[in-house]
Structures are given as structure tokens and as C-alpha cells.
């Protein structure tokens, strides 16, 4: 088992990529905190995973709220006793063209996608520093690397995640903490499933592999970066995008 007895917090774990990661980590022996704002989905997924014999706990969190994040970390320590891995997977979109994007939607996306990553990382850091070990994996996006029409706020937030990842890698490597990011491409999530078929086919057409990614594809990247196999991988942005831009 690649994560035997490791304790992992995965934000945005009640659905999509986060849920796929929670299952993948649990399969590899990790004890997993399903951290999500959606209490109904979180409780449901906690029950489903426990029924499969996995050691998981759902904790509701608003990553944009520091008090909520501090409570998440405290509850994790209280329940599992330690933390080894943080997956900053939670994120939202509020898409609009620049001329129509509201200041509120711009700020809300950065509040979750940037402030949330900052809050969660800073909150777990004392535990990682004390044990001289930790794996921090942040979720960026191809939008944060190349930009995307209608996603000023989202692209800005995911570019910021890359900047934070590289900065923290420089600060924390000497403390025994690995910091990396994953940059997913177009991935088959519930959000994408709601799009018109024509748009989905257009998305596939610009991907070298001519298909969308699956949540499991991203979860496997998280797993590699969370495992000891990647102990010398540091400050990198792993693109899992099917070759969308080469």
C-alpha cells in the first residue's frame, strides 16, 4: 500500500476529482478526511466509503473562511492524531466574459481558489514542520497556464496557485515538506456533463488524445505526488491534460 496509515485531508472531496482522489487514497491505505462545503454529499460519501471498509471522516468546511479551516485541522488532529498530506483540490467557477463579470464573482472565485489554498496550507503547516514531513499538493488548471475565454477570475486564481506552489517549495523544502501542483485539463466532471454535446466535442478536438480526462486520471497524479515515490519531486506543476497544449 503506497499510503499505508498516512492521514490525508482532501478539500472538495464530496464529488468529482476530490471524491475520486479520496477513494484512490483509501484504496492505498490512507486515512482520509473528506473536507467539503456540501454537507449532504459529504455525509453520503462518507457513509458509502465506510461501507467499503475505508477509514474516512467527513468534515464540513468553507475554505474561504479561516475559522472554518482552523476547525477542520483541529478536528482532523482530534480524530486521527496527525496529518501527512494536504490536497488543495476545492475550487469554484463563476464564468463570464470580462465585460460582464461582476466584482462579486471575481472576488468569490479568488476567495475560494486562492485564499482557500492559503488558509488550508498555513493551517496544516505547524504540524508538518513539527514532524519534518508533509506533502502539499495544489490544484491549478490549464486555464492558469494558458488562460481561457470567459474565465478571467478562474484563470487568475489558478495562475496564483502556481505562484504559491513555487514560492512554498522554495520556503518549505528545507523543512522536509514537498510542495507540488497538478494542472488538470478538460475533465469529465458533473460541471462538464451539463455542457451541450457540441461544446464537449469541441473540447475533445483540441486535446491530443482526443478525449476528456477522467477524475481518476487526476487522482492518480495526486497519488503519485502524495506517495514516497515522488520524494525528490518538488516545486513542479504536473500537467494532466491529454496533451492539450504542446
Q: Where are the domains of the chain?
A: 7-240
**Whole-angstrom Cα distance, residue 43 to residue 46?**
5
pLDDT (0 to 100) of residue 91: 96
pTM (global) more than 0.85: yes
Strands annotated E in 19-98: 31-36, 56-60, 85-88
pLDDT (0 to 100) of residue 189: 85
Check: CB of residue 25 under 8 Å from CB of residue 225.
no
What CATH number labels 7-240? 3.40.50.720
Give the least confident one: 60-69, 134-143, 203-212: 203-212
**Whole-angstrom Cα distance, residue 185 to residue 212?**
8
Residues identified as active-site: 154
Q: Which three cell numbers stand for residue 44?
A: 453520503
Q: Is the pLDDT of residue 88 over 90?
A: yes
Diameter of the chain measured on Cα atoms: 52
Q: Which three cell numbers stand for residue 202?
A: 469541441
Q: How large is the average pLDDT for residues 187-205?
A: 81
Residue among 125, 229, 31, 225 at smallest CA distance from 239: 225
DSSP 8-state code for residue 67: H
**Whole-angstrom Cα distance, residue 89 to residue 246?**
25
pLDDT band at 196 (very low <50, low <70, confident <90, very high): confident
How much of the chain, in percent, has pLDDT values that exceed 70? 99
Neighbouring-strand partners of residue 33? 9, 57
**Whole-angstrom Cα distance, residue 49 to residue 72?**
19
Amino acid at each position: 500500500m503506497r499510503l499505508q496509515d498516512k492521514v490525508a485531508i482532501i478539500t472538495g472531496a464530496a464529488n468529482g476529482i476530490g471524491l475520486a482522489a479520496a477513494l484512490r487514497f483509501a484504496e492505498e491505505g490512507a486515512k482520509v478526511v473528506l473536507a467539503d462545503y456540501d454537507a449532504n454529499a459529504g455525509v453520503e460519501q462518507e457513509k458509502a466509503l465506510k461501507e467499503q471498509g475505508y477509514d474516512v471522516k467527513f468534515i464540513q468546511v468553507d475554505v474561504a473562511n479561516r475559522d472554518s479551516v482552523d476547525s477542520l485541522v483541529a478536528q482532523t488532529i482530534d480524530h486521527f492524531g496527525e496529518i501527512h498530506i494536504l490536497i488543495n483540490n476545492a475550487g469554484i467557477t463563476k464564468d463570464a466574459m470580462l465585460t460582464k463579470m461582476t466584482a462579486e464573482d471575481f472576488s468569490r472565485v479568488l476567495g475560494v481558489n486562492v485564499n482557500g489554498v492559503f488558509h488550508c496550507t498555513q493551517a496544516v503547516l505547524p504540524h508538518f514542520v513539527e514532524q519534518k514531513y508533509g506533502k502539499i499538493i495544489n490544484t491549478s488548471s490549464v486555464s492558469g497556464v494558458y488562460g481561457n475565454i470567459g474565465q478571467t477570475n478562474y484563470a487568475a486564481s489558478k495562475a496564483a496557485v502556481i505562484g504559491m506552489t513555487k514560492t512554498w517549495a522554495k520556503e518549505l523544502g528545507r523543512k522536509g515538506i514537498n510542495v507540488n501542483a497538478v494542472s488538470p485539463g478538460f475533465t469529465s466532471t458533473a460541471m462538464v456533463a451539463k455542457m451541450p454535446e457540441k461544446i464537449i466535442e469541441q473540447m475533445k478536438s483540441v486535446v491530443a488524445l482526443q478525449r476528456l480526462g477522467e477524475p481518476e486520471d487526476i487522482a492518480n497524479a495526486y497519488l503519485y505526488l502524495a506517495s514516497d515515490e515522488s520524494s525528490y519531486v518538488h516545486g513542479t506543476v504536473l500537467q494532466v491534460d491529454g496533451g492539450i497544449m504542446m
